[in-house]
């Protein structure tokens, strides 16, 4: 395999071609694998686990992804994006097959969850670093929009598919389908041909280091905004069903409208974002998300739910690619693995706080108070963007 000059920019020759589309297919399949296990609490319940054990079991996956992300980022720098992605998918596949052999709560179950999280962490470090370095800055909003649509599509489809599998064939079929998703994700990477054409290591002359990023005030403000956005997104994902049931309606219709809106925005507005600047869309999208979250308690019962559902979907559709593209603009080319590993680690941390901290808020103020608080927190995200000088895109702060 020929190894090009690590300081020379390598790009996908367009985004709507085989290599990048198959990369997005791998995103879709990996996140189908992960999302199918949103139903794993049902298996744990069948094993006799209570809410506390279920929480620890599900949370151990996320803890593993966050704690190992700095190490998997260094792996990307040493061995390249595709090596990290291959390792990640192989570990995810191995961990998924391990679920077949779990029939009781114990150390083995927690070990499988932790290994599953480590594999996911390696895949995310490699794939997000790849997009940040293989796509030109002028197209990164569009690129991360496509990535976000693939991820959100998997998150929308896989749990419903899992419910059908459980009703008809039980947990064995769920694990088999999740294993197949991991296997086909690796196949998608192989047939993209991109791994044969590009070895995108961090560069022999530059080590992956995190300290320079911690000294970058603009990057730190961006991470604060990322944490707020991910926290709000996690709150919606984890507590929308509860407030829906509390008001006597199903959550499916809200999620359907929200995901459809987000996917449409992700697929259609990337070029516009690249043209006018990501920071502009951060400023515009935070109020949209804040309003959508705040209106949920009042409008969830009637057909007026369409308004907060569309607002939340549009807000997420703009905020996800904007944060990703801005993070990708930080650091030298050799430091992209560090920047994207740090970014995705903060993003995943927001999903942990969105489950744990929001649960505490809900206990104190109720579910209605939680969503109003989350809307207020989104306004705080807007304040961070307005008061800071975010860099990371062509043209400076944007």
Fold identical between 18-197 and 211-387? Answer: yes
DSSP 133-155: HHS-GGGHHHHHHHHHHHHHHHH
Burial of 357 (0-12, 13-18, 19+ CB in 10 A): middle
Q: What angle do CA 58, 245, 50 make, to 5 degrees?
A: 35
CATH superfamily label, 18-197? MFS general substrate transporter like domains (1.20.1250.20)
Could you give the CA distance from residue 330 to residue 213 in angstroms, rounded to a whole number? 8
Cβ neighbours for 88, distance < 8 A, ≥ 6 positions apart? 72, 119, 120, 121, 122, 123, 124, 125, 126
Burial of 246 (0-12, 13-18, 19+ CB in 10 A): middle
**Chain centroid to CA 240: how far?**
18
**Quick check: helix, strand or coil at residue 8?**
coil
**Quick check: helix, strand or coil at residue 330?**
coil
Could you give the CA distance from residue 184 to residue 317 in angstroms, rounded to a whole number? 27
3-state secondary structure 264-313: HHHHHCHHHHHHHCHHHHHHHHHHHHHHHHHHHHHHCCCHHHHHHHHHHH
Cβ neighbours for 390, distance < 8 A, ≥ 6 positions apart? 218, 221, 222, 225, 279, 282, 326, 397, 398
Cβ neighbours for 58, distance < 8 A, ≥ 6 positions apart? 40, 41, 113
* pLDDT confidence of residue 103: 86
Q: How many residues does the chain have?
A: 398
Residue whose C-alpha is closest to residue 255's, from 309, 298, 208: 309
Asked if 228 contacts 380 with a C-beta cutoff of 8 angstroms, the reply is yes
| Phi, then psi, of 215 in degrees rounded to 5 | -90, -5
* pLDDT confidence of residue 390: 61
Where along the chain do its domains lie? 18-197, 211-387
Which conformational region is residue 359 in: left (phi greater than 0), alpha (psi within -120 to 50 degrees), or beta?
Answer: alpha
Asked if 275 contacts 291 with a C-beta cutoff of 8 angstroms, the reply is no
Cβ neighbours for 393, distance < 8 A, ≥ 6 positions apart? 137, 140, 277, 278, 279, 325, 326, 329
Q: Which residues of the chain carry a pLDDT beneath 50?
A: 1-10, 197-205, 394-398
**Quick check: helix, strand or coil at residue 46?**
helix
DSSP letter (8 states) at residue 396: B
**Domain over 211-387 is classified CATH 1.20.1250.20:** yes
| Phi, then psi, of 248 in degrees rounded to 5 | 80, 25
Give per-residue pLDDT as tens, 163-172: 889 889 999 9
Give per-residue pLDDT as tens, 112-170: 999 999 999 999 999 988 888 888 877 888 888 899 899 989 988 888 888 889 889 99
* pLDDT confidence of residue 1: 32
* pLDDT confidence of residue 391: 55
């Amino acid at each position: 395999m020929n190894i090009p000059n690590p300081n020379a920019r390598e790009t996908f020759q367009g985004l709507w071609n085989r290599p990048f589309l198959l990369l997005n297919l791998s995103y879709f399949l990996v996140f189908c694998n992960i999302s199918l296990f949103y139903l794993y609490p049902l298996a744990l319940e069948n094993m006799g686990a209570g809410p506390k054990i279920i929480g620890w079991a599900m949370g151990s996956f996320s803890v593993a992804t966050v704690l190992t992300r700095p190490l998997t980022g260094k792996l990307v720098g040493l061995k390249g994006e595709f090596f990290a992605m291959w390792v990640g998918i192989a570990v995810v596949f191995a961990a998924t097959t391990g679920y077949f052999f779990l029939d009781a709560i114990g150390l083995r179950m927690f070990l499988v969850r932790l290994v599953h999280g480590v594999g996911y962490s390696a895949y995310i470090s490699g794939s997000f670093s790849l997009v940040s370095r293989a796509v030109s800055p002028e197209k990164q909003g569009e690129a991360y929009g496509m990535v976000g649509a693939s991820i959100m599509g998997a998150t929308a489809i896989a749990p419903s598919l899992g419910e059908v599998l459980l009703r008809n064939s039980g947990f064995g079929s769920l694990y088999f389908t999740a294993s197949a998703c991991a296997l086909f994700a690796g196949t998608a990477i192989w047939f993209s041909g991109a791994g044969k054409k590009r070895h995108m290591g961090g560069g022999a002359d530059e080590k992956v280091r995190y300290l320079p990023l911690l000294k970058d005030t603009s990057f730190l403000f961006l991470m604060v905004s990322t944490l707020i956005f991910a926290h709000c997104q996690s709150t919606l994902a984890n507590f929308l069903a509860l407030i829906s049931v509390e008001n006597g309606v199903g959550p499916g219709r809200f999620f359907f409208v929200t995901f459809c809106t987000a996917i449409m925005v992700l697929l259609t507005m990337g070029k516009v974002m690249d043209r006018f600047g990501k920071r502009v869309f951060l400023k515009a999208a935070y109020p949209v998300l804040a309003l959508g979250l705040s209106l949920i308690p009042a409008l969830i019962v009637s057909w007026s739910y369409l308004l907060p559902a569309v607002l939340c979907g549009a807000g997420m559709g703009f905020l996800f690619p904007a944060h990703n593209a801005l993070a990708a603009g930080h650091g030298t080319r050799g430091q992209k693995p560090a920047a994207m590993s740090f970014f995705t680690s903060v993003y995943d941390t927001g999903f942990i706080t969105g489950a744990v901290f929001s649960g505490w808020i809900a206990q104190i103020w109720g579910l209605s108070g939680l969503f109003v608080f989350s809307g207020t927190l989104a306004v705080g995200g807007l304040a961070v963007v307005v008061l800071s000088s975010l860099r990371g895109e062509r043209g400076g702060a944007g």
